Amino acid sequence: MKYKLLVHLNTQHEAARQILNGILRYVSVCHRFEIQFTNRDPPFDDLNRYAGWRPDAIITDSRCHRCRPAQFAAVGGKAAVFINTDPYRGFAMPHAMFTTDDGAIGRTAAEFFLGKGCVNFAYVEDLRPRPWDIARFNAFSDSVARRGFSAKVFKCPAIRDWLAYENRLSKWLAKLDKPCAILAAYDILAKQVIDACDMGGISVPGHVQIMGIDNETYICDRCSPTLTSIALNYEAGGFQAAEFIFNALEGKEQGECRRFLFDSAGIVERISTEDSNGVMRRVSRARHFMKQHAASGIGVTDIASFLAISPRQLEKNYRAIMGRSILSDLQNEKLAIAKDLLRKTAIPVNNLPTFCGFRSSAHLKTLFRKSFGMTMSEFRRSWSATSGFATPHTLAFEMP
């Protein structure tokens, strides 16, 4: 006797097609199934159409929730597998739930980017964040945090107009510290990130490296540039799902829910994260070193020595990625420290160079006025007036 298995999956997604391949592989080995597939388009995906066929079991995705539990139970037979969706509450027959290993996905992406020397990280979540989306970001963020970094996240209210969404995303991308490693919640979203970068004149992978999830090859191979993505073992999961159904129909599974994970099959690297000559890695390390040590008075030569390259090569690499001089960014980093000290302390202006990495008061004063259009004393008075705070008390500082 053959068991009747109904497969109710949205096969417009490559992940579902891989799951289906795994199911068919098991069926070809087992020789105990008669199998039918629902069409992905309404009304042909209506489960009621298959009630007369009387399937013994069903493998389904979130579309099962379009019908009432009683209707599903009438069609679902004696066992069920739910793919990336919760079973009905109080579901009595033997059943299993297959979901992606979202924690492993986030950690895999973080370790990949950390291995490339990245120090700036970001995550683009879905318009309607769901638990799997949040879990991916949390694992990604926690992994980089353990190495002393942080990850920014793009949160956007639901916007029906695509151009408005792309504009907001493009502006957010422009504000990120560069170079930046970006993980998107899934491949289609990663493709939209690439489009937003193109709209804003942000180079991929020059300014940002982008990774998707699911390795939907029809998307990844046709992006410009092609998209790096995390592949998951969907086919192995499909095989396992069919095996669970068979065991359940043979009386080897009980009524409680079994939980399985689609684990990672590794990263398929394409051009969106390519750093063939290590330039992006060097620039990332240079910017991190600059931020950490700007106040100590370092110069471009010190950064080049840290990277074990010549100042000329450093300047060439930095300009290729950032589009500007490393000296100007180093000076801006020191000026930002000076502004912060002017706002938060009452250190005399003539003493400030010691604390923000400048070797002379005259140089700092000239550069500050040229950059901000006012003297440091004028900036301090202006900030005190606009913020509503009096000049801050002098903090305890030791002269180096």
DSSP code string of 278-318: SHHHHHHHHHHHHHHHGGGT--HHHHHHHHTS-HHHHHHHH
Say what the pLDDT of residue 195 is: 95
Task: Give the contacts of 98 (CB within 8 A, at least 6 positions apart).
Answer: 81, 82, 83, 84, 237, 240, 241, 260, 261, 262
Is a pLDDT exceeding 70 seen at residue 8? yes
Give the residue with greater pLDDT, 159 vs 304: 304
Q: Which two tokens stand for residue 218?
A: 């029809």
Task: Give the contacts of 135 (CB within 8 A, at least 6 positions apart).
Answer: 102, 103, 106
**In this structure, are 227 and 169 located in the same domain?**
yes
The residue with tokens 């095989």 is: 239
**In this structure, are 87 and 177 located in the same domain?**
no
Q: Which two tokens stand for residue 113?
A: 């980017």
In a domain, 398, yes or no: no
- Of 49-58, 99-108, 297-306, 341-350, where does mean pLDDT reach its minimum? 49-58
Say what the pLDDT of residue 1 is: 80
**In this structure, are 60 and 146 located in the same domain?**
no
Is a pLDDT exceeding 90 seen at residue 141? yes
**In this structure, are 294 and 381 located in the same domain?**
yes
Q: What is the pLDDT of residues 88-109, one digit of tens each?
A: 777 778 899 999 999 999 999 9
Q: What is the pLDDT of residues 246-287, one digit of tens each?
A: 999 999 887 778 999 998 889 999 999 988 677 877 887 888
Say what the pLDDT of residue 39 is: 67
In a domain, 89, yes or no: yes
- Of 33-47, 48-62, 77-91, 135-149, where does mean pLDDT reach its minimum? 33-47
Q: What is the residue range of 89's domain?
A: 3-101+234-263
Distance (Å, rounded) from C-alpha 41 to C-alpha 62?
14
Q: What is the pLDDT of residues 185-226, one digit of tens each?
A: 999 999 999 999 999 999 999 899 999 999 999 999 999 999
Say what the pLDDT of residue 324 is: 84
Is a pLDDT exceeding 70 seen at residue 153? yes
In a domain, 160, yes or no: yes
Which among 231, 254, 234, 253 has a CA at the least distance from the CA of 244? 253
**In this structure, are 192 and 301 located in the same domain?**
no
Give the residue with greater pLDDT, 135 vs 90: 135
Cα angle 159, 154, 86 (rounded to 5 degrees) comes to 75
Residue 206: which CATH number?
A: 3.40.50.2300
| pLDDT band with cut points at 50, 70 and 90 for residue 48 | confident
**pTM attached to this predicted model:** 0.74
**In this structure, are 131 and 220 located in the same domain?**
yes
Is a pLDDT exceeding 60 seen at residue 390? no
Say what the pLDDT of residue 366 is: 92
| pLDDT band with cut points at 50, 70 and 90 for residue 381 | confident
Q: Taking residues 161-174, what's their average pLDDT? A: 90
**In this structure, are 119 and 27 located in the same domain?**
no
Q: For the purposes of burial, counting CB atoms within 10 Å of the CB of 83, is it exposed (0-12), middle (13-18) or buried (19 or more)?
A: buried
**In this structure, are 96 and 116 located in the same domain?**
no
| pLDDT band with cut points at 50, 70 and 90 for residue 291 | confident
In a domain, 399, yes or no: no
Q: How many domains does the chain have?
A: 3
**In this structure, are 300 and 259 located in the same domain?**
no
Is a pLDDT exceeding 90 seen at residue 64? no
Distance (Å, rounded) from C-alpha 45 to C-alpha 246?
23
Say what the pLDDT of residue 398 is: 41
In a domain, 321, yes or no: yes
Distance (Å, rounded) from C-alpha 148 to C-alpha 150?
7
Is a pLDDT exceeding 70 seen at residue 394? no
- The rounded percent of the chain whose pLDDT value lies above 70 is 90
Q: What is the DSSP letter of 183?
A: E
In a domain, 395, yes or no: no
Task: Give the contacts of 185 (CB within 8 A, at least 6 positions apart).
Answer: 123, 124, 125, 126, 133, 136, 137, 213
Is a pLDDT exceeding 60 seen at residue 150? yes
Contacts 24+ apart (CB under 8 A), 360-366: 364/338
> H helices of the chain, where?
14-30, 69-76, 102-115, 131-145, 162-175, 187-200, 217-220, 234-249, 279-293, 300-307, 311-322, 326-344, 353-356, 361-372, 376-387
- Residue 369's alpha-carbon distances to 99, 372, 373, 374, in angstroms, are 58, 5, 5, 5
**In this structure, are 317 and 360 located in the same domain?**
yes
Which among 317, 316, 315, 339 has a CA at the least distance from the CA of 327? 315
Sheet of 151-154, strands arranged across? 151-154, 121-124, 180-184, 208-213, 228-232, 264-268
**In this structure, are 123 and 215 located in the same domain?**
yes
Say what the pLDDT of residue 385 is: 66
Say what the pLDDT of residue 40 is: 59
Average per-residue pLDDT in the chain?
Answer: 87
Say what the pLDDT of residue 397 is: 41
Last residue of a domain, one of 250, 273, 296: 273
Say what the pLDDT of residue 400 is: 36
Task: Give the contacts of 342 (CB within 8 A, at least 6 positions apart).
Answer: 352, 376, 379, 380, 383
User: What's at 300, amino acid-wise?
Assistant: V
Say what the pLDDT of residue 65 is: 61
Say what the pLDDT of residue 393 is: 46
Distance (Å, rounded) from C-alpha 1 to C-alpha 33?
9
In a domain, 400, yes or no: no
